[in-house]
A = this chain, B = another copy of it.
Amino acid sequence: MIEIAIMGHGVVGSGVAGIITTHKKKLFASIGEEIHIKHILDLREFPDSPLADRFTKDFEDIINDVEVRVVAEVMGGINPAYDYTKRLLKAGKSVVTSNKELVAAKGAELLQIAKENNANFLFEASVGGGIPIIRPLSQCLVANEVKEIAGILNGTTNFILTKMFDEGMDFDSALKLAQDLGFAERNPAADVEGHDACRKICILASLAFGKHVYPDNIHTEGITEITLADVKYAASMDSVIKLIGDVKLLDGGKMDIFVAPMLISKKSQLANIDNEFNGIMVRGDCTGDVVFYGKGAGSMPTASAVVADIVDCCKHLKARKYLFWADSTNDNIISYNESKTAVYLRLSTTDRETALAKVKEFFGDVQVLSIENEAENELAVITPVLSVEQITTALSELEKDGITALSNIRIGDL
């Protein structure tokens, strides 16, 4: 029997306890021993839980229990999860987590502490919920040089964008629907402004390229500015708009990494990933494109990934898994200004003919888009591939001539 503890009894934590109880036989067959939940840490009371006798409000009960070998951290947030995880690893206990904020902010340090103490620190559930991605990336694709990872990493924003495309809902109505259905938080900023996706692409980049990528200085755009006009122009190009976390390895070894909405051709595998689903494309030099798809969040998918990590720790109580990356100062990342892309621009103008001439002057050979019932005072174009700096400069030149960018969205090559 292997004694474990679970820190947090919210949406994910209660799912973890549930799966360990209901899937006992399957887990036993895999490990050859029974997993036993000895402690559950939560400040709330759960008198009606069948596990009521396991609850504690005191972390010291877990850290001081020498029988506990594996701990699931499913509290979320940096504090006190960071402090607890550090102390547990230092005590030689393995920790598994679904906490992307913690992994994105402190992953390198925690992996180093785990290594020094011959313990494991696993986090399959931190990206893509129940979609296997961390283990495939670190094990199955180990014989590949990863060239690019691009993913729809946030279910809330993907749900909103799908509703905008499929049902013509505007952003505010789609967000409200997502909130009503429980796909979005009451305070949706972390999702709709791209920060959640940013943490996840940073974790994937750290893993794929072996150096911690901190989310702090990564260019992050959300979807709050996307309008139904943009949706229609995208559709006119047989494209959809998806919020993409993208990291690309450039010649010379630096990374181009950002989170931004992108126009994606409907032929792309990522274009058909709709509603609350997530999808992650890994471009390897040997495999070509491999795509992983599924529910990126939710109690049971996420909890099942946490339990898979618990199982892995139980199988590796004495041996360490080789999941690791080194610390870094983000010095291997290019400035976003250097990032190169074609963009879709929707411009406000009083005179389309003159505006188009001006646009061509600053952007070169653009492709003009048109839709039914086009706004008279708007011009939509696709630019050639340029650096973000070139695009910004050209837009400020246009601004001087009274031509303002209403929308400015990257064209994805995925």
Q: Which residues of A contact B (CB under 8 A)?
A: 15, 19, 23, 26-27, 29-32, 124, 129-132, 135-136, 139-145, 210, 269, 272-273, 284-295, 300-301, 303-305, 307-308, 311-312, 315, 319, 322
Residues on the B chain within 8 Å of A301, using CB: 286-288
Chain B neighbourhood of A31, CB < 8 A: 322
Give A284's nearest chain B residue, CB to CB: B304
Inter-chain contact B286/A300, CB cutoff 8 Å: yes
B124 in contact with A308 (CB, 8 Å): no
> What are 25 contact pairs spanning A and B, CB under 8 A?
A26-B142, A26-B143, A26-B145, A31-B322, A32-B322, A129-B287, A130-B284, A131-B287, A132-B140, A135-B135, A136-B140, A139-B308, A141-B304, A142-B308, A269-B293, A284-B304, A286-B304, A287-B295, A288-B300, A289-B293, A289-B295, A290-B292, A290-B294, A291-B293, A292-B292
Taking a contact as CB atoms closer than 8 A, the residue among B19, B124, B144, B293 that contacts A140 in the complex is B124
Which chain B residues border A315 with CB–CB below 8 Å?
322
Q: A319-B319, A322-B315 are in contact. Are A294 and B304 (CB under 8 A)?
A: no
B130 contacts A132, C-beta separation under 8 Å: no
Q: Give Cα A23–Cα B303 distance, bound, in whole angstroms.
A: 35
Q: Report whether B145 and A135 are in contact in the complex, using a CB–CB cutoff of 8 Å.
A: no
CB distance from A313 to the nearest CB of B (A): 12
Q: Answer whether A293 and B293 are a contact pair too, CB < 8 Å, given A130-B286, A140-B305, A304-B141.
A: yes
Report the minimum CB–CB distance from A88 to chain B (whole Å): 21
Q: Is the CB–CB distance between B290 and A131 below 8 Å?
A: yes
When C-beta atoms are compared, the residue in chain B nearest to A295 turns out to be: B288
Q: How far is the CA of A54 from the CA of B108 in the complex (A)?
A: 41
10 A-B pairs besides A143-B307, A290-B292, A319-B319 with CB distance below 8 A are A129-B287, A130-B284, A132-B132, A132-B290, A142-B307, A287-B300, A287-B304, A288-B301, A289-B295, A290-B294
Residues of the B chain whose Cβ atoms lie less than 8 Å from the Cβ of A269: 272-273, 293
Pick the residue among B23, B32, B294 that contacts A291 (CB under 8 A). B294
Given A286-B130, A294-B291: A139 and B135 within 8 A (CB)?
A: yes
Docked-complex contact B293 and A287, CB < 8 angstroms: no
Chain B residue at smallest Cβ distance from A318: B319
Q: How far is the CA of A285 from the CA of B295 in the complex (A)?
A: 12
* A294: B residues at CB distance < 8 A: 287-291
Which chain B residues lie closer than 8 Å to A291 at the CB level?
Answer: 291-294
Residues of B within 8 A of A23 (CB): 143-145
Measured between beta carbons, the chain B residues less than 8 angstroms from A307 are 142-143
**CA gap between A140 and B382 in the complex, in Å:** 41
- Residues in B whose Cβ lies below 8 Å from that of A139: 132, 135, 308, 311-312
Q: Taking the nearest CB of chain B, how far is it from the CB of A193, in angstroms?
A: 27
The CA of A301 and the CA of B288, in the complex, are separated in Å by 7
- The answer for the CA separation of A124 and B319 in the assembled complex, in Å, is 22
Taking CB atoms, residues of chain B closer than 8 Å to A303 are 143, 286
Report yes or no: A143 in contact with B304, Cβ–Cβ below 8 A: yes
Known contacts A130-B287, A292-B292; A135 and B140 CB within 8 A of each other: yes
Top-4 shortest CB links A-B: A132-B140, A143-B307, A130-B287, A286-B304
State how many angstroms separate the Cβ of A49 from the closest Cβ of chain B. 19
Chain B nearest Cβ from A211, distance in angstroms: 12
CA distance A284 to B22 in the complex (A): 14
A298 to B219, CA, bound (A): 37
Is there an interface contact between B290 and A130, defined as CB atoms closer than 8 Å? yes
Q: Which residues of B contact A15 (CB under 8 A)?
A: 286
Task: Report yes or no: A311 in contact with B132, Cβ–Cβ below 8 A.
Answer: no
Q: How far is the CA of A139 from the CA of B311 in the complex (A)?
A: 8
| Given A269-B272, A287-B304; A136-B143 close (CB under 8 Å) | no
Complex: A295 Cα to B290 Cα, angstroms: 7
